[in-house]
Chain A
Amino acid sequence: AQSVAQPEDQVNVAEGNPLTVKCTYSVSGNPYLFWYVQYPNRGLQFLLKYITGDNLVKGSYGFEAEFNKSQTSFHLKKPSALVSDSALYFCAVPSGNTGKLIFGQGTTLQVKP
């Protein structure tokens, strides 16, 4: 069965510092991986996805994610955090023939000025 795990409930970083939000996966077949963000009182917004090819995927709002097959990880990164990046981040993987998404439990990112 497809699954993803986000080992950290919360990540705290100072504004201007690099940030990493971790995600590990367990899939059968080709891994397709997604990151979504939920800002306060908003819906889920798509950030980026890995399908194939370059292990470094660039997405919205300056975020990128690194696919690592040997470590079965897909960590979300940003070189310089902004206070406005404070939000809830979800890693997800499609499952079955219908593409339903299996989500990690979410990681709250808190960026302090």
Chain B
Amino acid sequence: EAGVTQFPSHSVIEKGQTVTLRCDPISGHDNLYWYRRVMGKEIKFLLHFVKESKQDESGMPNNRFLAERTGGTYSTLKVQPAELEDSGVYFCASSFLPGLLTDTQYFGPGTRLTVL
């Protein structure tokens, strides 16, 4: 079974540019989460999808961040325009059962974003 995949693995952009990160969850997983780790700090939640619906966007930093999950399969996270403080590692995770707090989330390898 393929795990969670993320693309690209690294992205270096200049301030003001746009970047789109992609996440492909494990097949059949309805839950998809985005997290990020900034500057060696703790990993913070960004948002949660169940299928194509956003269930919780409370962690999204501001309206420069836009996440989509069309068709309930892969998800994209767009940052437009990027700022220096957006640099960090963006992780995607998926799990099988919506609403089950004990369900294990499986993480992708992350995308390292550097904004210059």
Contacts and interface: CB of A to CB of B under 8 A. Distances in A.
Q: Say which size band chain B's interface belongs to.
A: 20 to 34
B107 A99 contact: no
Given A101-B45, A103-B42, A94 B101 contact: yes
A99 B45 contact: no
13 contacts: A32-B101, A44-B43, A44-B93, A49-B102, A96-B56, A98-B55, A99-B31, A99-B99, A100-B33, A101-B33, A101-B43, A101-B93, A106-B42
B109 A32 contact: no
B105 interface: yes
A43 B91 CA distance: 8
CB-CB nearest 10 A-B residue pairs: A43-B109, A44-B107, A94-B101, A103-B43, A100-B45, A105-B42, A98-B56, A98-B48, A51-B102, A43-B107
Given A100-B45, A105-B41, A46 B102 contact: no
Interface of A: 32, 34, 36, 42-46, 49, 51, 90, 92, 94, 96-106
Given A45-B107, A102-B45, 18 more contacts: A32-B101, A43-B110, A44-B43, A44-B93, A46-B104, A46-B107, A90-B42, A90-B43, A98-B48, A98-B55, A98-B56, A99-B48, A99-B95, A100-B45, A101-B33, A101-B105, A105-B42, A106-B43
Interface centre among A42, A98, A101 (most CB of B within 10 A): A98
B7 interface: no
Interface of B: 4, 6, 31, 33, 35, 41-45, 48, 55-56, 59, 91, 93, 95, 99-110
A100 B56 contact: yes
Nearest to B50: A98
B91 A34 contact: no
